[in-house]
Amino acid sequence: QVQLVESGGGLVQAGGSLRLSCAASGRTFTYYTMGWFRQAPGKEREFVAAISWSGGSTYYVDSVKGRFTISRDSAKNTVYLQMNSLKPEDTAVYYCAASSYGLPRRSYEYSYWGQGTQVTVSS
């Protein structure tokens, strides 16, 4: 089992920044690909970004490329999502997740999920 706890969400104006954190505990964090997803009201959960177990590979959905950066600190068992130039359409509950696969983009490929953290971007 892997337990994931997100933090760092909040209310920010358009153009602002937030850094989300996801602290992992339980089974060895190091060998899991970590991903971030988001879900806006009335919409399906959407893939945002993923980082390989080594940190050497990352993947982003087109809508956040150049604005968001995913990173991980294995010594701290933590994965981060730095979000810059935020837009109102980034408003959602953000979830981190762990997967045993490569760089998956589908939610069913992730075995462990956090409880989510709310990000609200005002215009």
Predicted local confidence at residue 93, as pLDDT: 98
What's the whole-number average pLDDT of the chain?
95
N-term to C-term CA, the chain:
40
In this prediction, residue 103 carries a pLDDT of 87
**pLDDT 10s digits, 76-91:** 999 999 999 999 999 9
Distance CA 104, CA 92 (A): 21
How far apart are alpha carbons 26 and 55 in whole angstroms?
20
